[in-house]
Amino acid sequence: MRLTEIFKTTQGLAVMLLSLVLSGPTWAAPDAVAGKLKAQLCVSCHGAEGISSMAGTPHLAAQPPLSVFYQLIQFRNQQRKSDAMQAIAANMSDQDMRDIAAWYASLPAPPAHSGSETALLERGQQIAQQQFCASCHGAKLEGQKHVPRLAGQASDYFTQQLKNFRSGERAGMDGTMASAARSLTDEEIQAMAIYSRSLP
């Protein structure tokens, strides 16, 4: 996806979010302590410290709070597919979601895993640069605002989600990821997963 298109999309989304904040109700501040208690529902899959040991399940530790919040909103609104997550999010208030997001944002980031796949790692870095991933996900893919952290993410989850964006099974918030993933091959996605997993 061209960098100018990414900037235009991100700018438009920022304006939309600002208008919602200015016109919406007054919310209580996110409470990470309350979020820890509310996140007990999440522990069996996402781990006590937000680092999952379950295949195909994302690490949530150190994710930007807006990213977790908006994903939960999408599950609750059935805009993102997952029977388990839709059922859990259906019973959450916006405040519950903000508190849980604040808790996960407060946790230490997942450890980096570089492994011995040097060639694939370097190829993944090259593709990430070509795709301008850093323009939305941050210079070290650490995530920012509503955009998720990719650094240290489980490679099987990363791989499956990019394939879902590519196929259209996962829509995303604004079409940016679907556009970015459309031309990627399975091998390129695997390389990007290994690269992102290697980042602290």
> Is 177 assigned a ligand-binding role in the annotation?
yes
Distance, CA of 125 to CA of 133 (rounded, Å): 10
> Is 133 assigned a ligand-binding role in the annotation?
yes
Which tokens go with 68?
Answer: 């977790």
> Is 85 assigned a ligand-binding role in the annotation?
yes
> Is 54 assigned a ligand-binding role in the annotation?
no
> Is 46 assigned a ligand-binding role in the annotation?
yes
> Is 173 assigned a ligand-binding role in the annotation?
no
- Known binding residues are 42, 45-46, 85, 133, 136-137, 177
**Positions at the binding site for heme c:** 42, 45-46, 85, 133, 136-137, 177
